């Protein structure tokens, strides 16, 4: 949901830039604004859309008197709309905190930390922000267990294309990519000192999932648009990282993330993605015992396919679960066929348009 709110914010802000309709500006502020009452760091998402909308307008200040006057008016509208929307949602959040916890200046985390310190007086006053900043910051970016670049290689491709295609990108595209990267760095910094800086019991760093996925998606759009004009190095990098990223995402959904989270207590192996691949091969070949991967309890349950139809057997009769699997496979095949037909028609239409 948070990803959808951010995407809608950027989408409607872009629509406002193109049409000038104030309703799009309002929607561009409301969608990321709603994320504030979902979680307080949603303020950073809101700020990202605000600065994106503002800087695009600010870039028009040098284009003559008429464009300058319009840009000043647009900047006033941005400040007014985003300011009102921010005050509304932050007021809703603070009123909820007051109603639930008795203060508009705190959140449940303050009470949670105070209760834990009362139970364990040895905890520092800064709890739960007890991790050295550099450890958490570097861990989110480079650690073999949580690195965003390992779990989303397309992030690397976006950054490379950002500089490689710099002269050909429009100001809007440049700001979209820059917004995603800056938002990622801000959230990494915000959670770096937190005790569980990557999120406890998670696949990758879940606290920065939104900016990572948003920025990574842009690599596909850049490759699709500029592929024909790229040099061989740019194409090769795309063909390398795109399938690799797809493979990693498929591996991440095959089994529950609890498998590797449990194995960390009995295996001295930090490279989680490599461990997931080994678990998949072991589950298919029956070598989990030989490789020592079955050191966890309930190996067979943890290596059950982590898709809804295959999980039905835990709550419904086996006959209904089997029907669910067949229905799921049928629609999956139907989706693949539809995508292939769509791509073929799109390719044929492009060939017709190119003909003189």
For 31-52, write each residue's pLDDT tens digit.
Answer: 999 999 988 889 999 999 999 9
Predicted TM-score (pTM) of the model is 0.86
Which residues have CB under 8 Å from 20's CB, separation 6+? Answer: none
186, 219: one domain: yes
Q: For 304, phi and psi rounded to 5 degrees? A: -75, 145
Q: What distances in angstroms separate CA 332 from CA 90, 243, 249, 327, 343, one per listed residue?
A: 42, 19, 17, 9, 17
Tokens of 126: 């800064």
**For residue range 149-204, what is the model confidence (pLDDT) as tens digits?**
999 999 999 999 999 999 999 899 999 999 999 999 999 999 999 988 888 788 88
140, 239: one domain: yes
Q: What is the pLDDT of residue 321?
A: 82
94, 151: one domain: no
Q: Domain containing 355: what range?
A: 318-356
Instruction: Tell me the C-alpha distance between 237 and 217, whole Å.
Output: 15
Q: What is the pLDDT of residue 188?
A: 95
Instruction: Tell me the C-alpha distance between 314 and 232, whole Å.
Output: 50
Domain count, the chain: 4
Q: Which residues of the chain have pLDDT under 50?
A: none
Cβ(262)–Cβ(250) below 8 Å: no
Assigned domain for 85 exists? yes
62, 159: one domain: no
Cα Rg, the chain, nearest whole Å? 24
47, 79: one domain: yes
Assigned domain for 313 exists? no
Assigned domain for 312 exists? no
288, 212: one domain: no
Cβ(13)–Cβ(175) below 8 Å: no
177, 228: one domain: yes
For residue 230, give the 3-state DSSP assignment.
coil
């Amino acid at each position: 949901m948070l990803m959808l709110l951010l995407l809608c914010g950027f989408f409607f802000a872009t629509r406002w830039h193109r049409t000038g309709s104030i309703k799009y500006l309002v929607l561009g502020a409301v969608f990321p604004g709603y994320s504030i009452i979902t979680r307080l760091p949603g303020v950073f998402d809101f700020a990202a859309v605000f600065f994106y909308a503002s800087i695009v307008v600010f870039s028009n200040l040098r284009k003559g008197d008429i464009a300058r006057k319009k840009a000043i008016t647009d900047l006033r509208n941005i400040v007014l709309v985003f300011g009102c929307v921010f005050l509304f949602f932050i007021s809703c959040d603070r009123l909820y905190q007051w109603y639930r916890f008795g203060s508009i200046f705190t959140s449940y985390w303050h009470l949670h930390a105070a209760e834990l310190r009362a139970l364990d007086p040895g905890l520092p006053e800064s709890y739960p922000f007890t991790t050295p900043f550099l450890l958490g910051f570097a861990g989110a970016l480079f650690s073999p267990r949580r690195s965003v670049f390992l779990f989303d290689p397309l992030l690397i491709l976006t950054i490379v294309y950002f500089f490689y295609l710099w002269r050909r990108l429009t100001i809007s595209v440049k700001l979209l990519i820059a917004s995603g990267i800056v938002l990622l760095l801000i959230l990494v910094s915000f959670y770096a000192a937190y005790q569980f800086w990557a999120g406890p019991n998670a696949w990758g760093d879940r606290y920065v999932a939104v900016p990572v996925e948003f920025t990574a998606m842009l690599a596909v759009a850049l490759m699709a648009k500029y592929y024909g004009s790229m040099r061989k190095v740019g194409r090769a990098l795309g063909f390398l990282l795109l399938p690799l990223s797809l493979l990693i995402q498929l591996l991440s959904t095959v089994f529950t993330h609890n498998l590797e989270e449990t194995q960390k207590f009995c295996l001295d192996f930090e490279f989680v993605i490599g461990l997931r691949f080994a678990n998949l091969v072991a589950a298919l070949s029956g070598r989990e015992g030989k490789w020592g991967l079955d050191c966890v309890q309930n190996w067979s349950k943890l290596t059950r396919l982590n898709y809804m139809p295959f999980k039905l057997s835990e709550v419904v009769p086996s006959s209904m679960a089997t029907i669910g699997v067949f229905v799921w496979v049928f629609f999956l095949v139907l989706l693949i066929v539809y995508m292939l037909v769509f791509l073929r028609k799109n390719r044929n239409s492009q060939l017709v348009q190119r003909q003189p």
